[in-house]
Amino acid sequence: MAYGDGMPAPPDPADPAVRAARERLRSLSPAQRSALVRLAAARSGAGPAAEVETLRPGDGPPLVLVHPVGGELFCYSALVAALGGTFPVLGLDAGALLRGPSRPTVQDVARSYATRLDGTGAATVAGWSFGAVLAFEIARLVTPDRTVVAIDSLPAGAGSSVGLRSTDVELRVGFAEELARSAPLADDVVRLAWDADDAAFVAAAAAALDTSGLGPDESDLAARLTIHRNAAAALERHRSSPGGPAVRVVWALDTATELLEPWRRVSGGEVDGCGIVADHWSLLRAPAVHDVARVLQEVHQQNTKGSPA
């Protein structure tokens, strides 16, 4: 489809949104820039897909971070940089089940991720948003006697979730809205998520985001839409069953109320936690991310107490 057929023109370098995107790239920390380069290499096929991503090397039992609904791990770059200690940090990005044509369940995904963690010696599993729901189900299988960290998330079935949609169109809109939070995606492109089919929306969004060599191309954006749609659909169908591991909950005071009680209904262990002054998205950025990092360090230290180095 040509740009003259109703598609937006390529981005103008003088456009404020384009300038803002480039400014965000320039302001990335070294850890964030490194994570983005790894992500770009994986998108281009320049690097092999790892079963488990090493976000930080180290010694001893690792902490594992599970991807949110978008399937990627870049959101955790500031958190990994803020973590103290010398323990390794591993990441689980979206696996084959979420990238395929079928709609897996949360339990299907959790079982496949538990297999990916075989031999890693994982001690703590944590996640933000949808990643926390997955982390809880993975921990049932991998670390049932250790505490999970749920970052600004409800157990599935306890209430509405950020970006939750029902139909394919609504799931596409949820993807567009989430993408627009971190990228120069104009309102007219977001509206295409309602009015166009997948191919037209993806082409328009890819053109709008083509502001750097690290931006997603159409094939990558289409893959991300599939992951988002499959993950959101799995979350909508999922209901957390009782009897899971202990949970340490962190919630954003600007956008959530106290989240302990819903987790107590599904955990078979102790549930405690704290609120941090931030919204759902800024919780993983400075300054709030340092408080989140302290919680993770404390839980990981407790989970590994007495473990061999």
pLDDT confidence of residue 20: 52
Over 70: is that where the pLDDT of 120 sits?
yes
Rounded mean pLDDT of 78-91?
A: 97
- Residue for token digits 């993807």? 175
Average pLDDT of the chain to the nearest whole number: 83
Architecture of domain 3-303: 3-Layer(aba) Sandwich (3.40)
* Mean local confidence (pLDDT), 103-119: 96
49 — pLDDT class (breaks 50, 70, 90): very low
DSSP 129-190: THHHHHHHHHHHHH-TTS-EEEES-PPTTSS--TT--SSHHHHHHHHHHHHHHHS---HHHH
| Domains of the chain by residue range | 3-303
Question: What are the pLDDT digits (tens) for 126-171?
Answer: 999 999 999 999 999 999 999 999 999 999 765 444 444 568 888 8
Closest by CA to 245, choosing from 142, 112, 158, 148, is 148
Residue 98: pLDDT over 50: yes
Whether residue 48 has pLDDT greater than 50: no
Strand 89-92 relative to strand 53-56: parallel, antiparallel, unpaired? antiparallel
**What predicted TM-score, i.e. pTM, was given to this entire model?**
0.81
What's residue 43's pLDDT? 44
Q: What is the pLDDT of residue 189?
A: 77
